[in-house]
Chain A
Amino acid sequence: MSWLTKLKTKVGSLGKRETTPDTLWHKCRGCGTMLFLKDFNANLHVCTHCGFHERIGPAERFAQIFDDGVHERIALPATPDDPLKFKDSKKYVDRLKEARASTGETDALVVASGRIGGVETILVVQNFAFMAGSMGAAVGEGFLKACAIAVERHAPLVVFTAAGGARMQEAILSLMQMPRTTLGVADLKDANLPYIIVLTDPTTGGVTASFAMLGDIQLAEPGALIGFAGQRVIESTIREKLPEGFQRAEYLFEHGMLDQVVHRGDLRKRLITIISLLMRPQKSAAA
């Protein structure tokens, strides 16, 4: 064993919402087919019938992407809870408490290091289950930490995005994470380190309009909703009819916004290839 505290994570079980009470079956949100949970899990939470990619959390993602699933979680900096004392129909502190209890995570961003095709890589996963993956100070600070560790270890950074957008309860401080995270991306670029984005369902709002669209390589999972403005806003405010497949990964690919749309089953292999090409024995004129 190295200095890393190695741990092997099994593919986690799905949340209750998507499963029948006996958890033996999973109903596909794409086509409605009842699937054997075992088959569905073995297929990386992708429908064996229609190919619908169900949302997955950090544990599953780390298990699927890292070599043998081996990884080390990176502790993220503490940020103030509820800096604005925000209260809508519910107190923000209570929403945070609930999200922490249901996910077991502190906030919506999780970072780990491990190897992908033998190359040490920092992996960032936005957890949609935690307040819709929304970006507040904790997400911004966590992202900056991930960038700093990548630079320190001279490792590529891979980010799986998933966010409903800004953490509205942090209002302006949430908005400020757009320039803040962009500063982290600048550090990676200055260090000539690969910054690889994998957009997953859904990635919208201020997250899309900052670090999620600044990748050297932009990948996305099939069918992922990716956009800046919400579809309801576009329909109701601007009264424009939405075209077929609007804001889906394939649509963005057609419009030149992505390098590739990659099936989850091929993602690890694709990342290994990209990382091995970009991290070839160096190179850097600056060194």
Chain B
Amino acid sequence: MTDLIERFLAGERRALSRILTRVENGTPEGREYLRQLYPRSGRAHTIGVTGGAGSGKSSLTGSLAAELRRRGHEVGVIAVDPSSPFTQGAILGDRIRMQDLVLDPGVFVRSMASRGALGGLAPTIDDVVAVMDAFGFPYVFIETVGAGQDEVEIAGTALTTVLVNNPGTGDDIQALKAGIIEIADILVVNKADRPGADVLVSQLRALLSLAPSEGRDVPILSTVATTGDGVPELVDAIDEHRAWLDSSGELDKHRRQEARHQVLSVAQRILLERVRRETSEDALAELVAQVAGRGLDPHTAAEQLVEQGELV
């Protein structure tokens, strides 16, 4: 255990990789690694890349990482793809769009499955981000699963949220309906080589003018992720957002909100695990049967579950 931590601190990528697995799995060992490494996190600029399925999140993340490498920075990437709700398996394919980075020793790409988490990320995403951060990457990208309408968890996990839109897909209407636009610190119109990009930019600008501004104008940038067009400007915008977070006091606010959210959600998980541990399968089945038969409502049943002891 200390051996792996030492190798991690010496910058050994294999040690990072092994610790990530344990932390992702949330094993007791993984939690101990997190406990030791957490104080070293908090330095990275964490950037969420979200948007519809196939909008170019992975391609864009790859181009952003390449541009940051040209500027001399090391980059960590965490790419989340969905787990099958039926088999709990997953095909993680985001790497395919980041091929040029594979052999760059200044880049580390890790794929994660959503493992049943709603919200576009994975149950232990914040822990995994903290480990990447603690390893010393100054930039850590987090690609969400192809988000639909209410996958907004990323705004808590990342300091800067980039929302990727495409021309000709009705993304403006989607954004309006879902309110997902409210989590965006930067709006991107990717696939700007396709018709309709200018129209989408002006539609998004009109939408933004309706939203309450928080002392900062949300920039809208056009990119072609596959060629890198517009990517340097996007990196500049990402850096500017970080500078604004620092100078406006929003950074501290974000960190406190996020810490509160994490503490409460872990508490929730611990309570749930306790209930599951202290309830026998038979007692649970009995309650479930009563609810299914409409003899008992779900709230009363859950209260009975939580009133431990009686059911064990």
| A, B in one complex | no
Interface residue ranges, A against B (CB under 8 Å): none
Interface residue ranges, B against A (CB under 8 Å): none
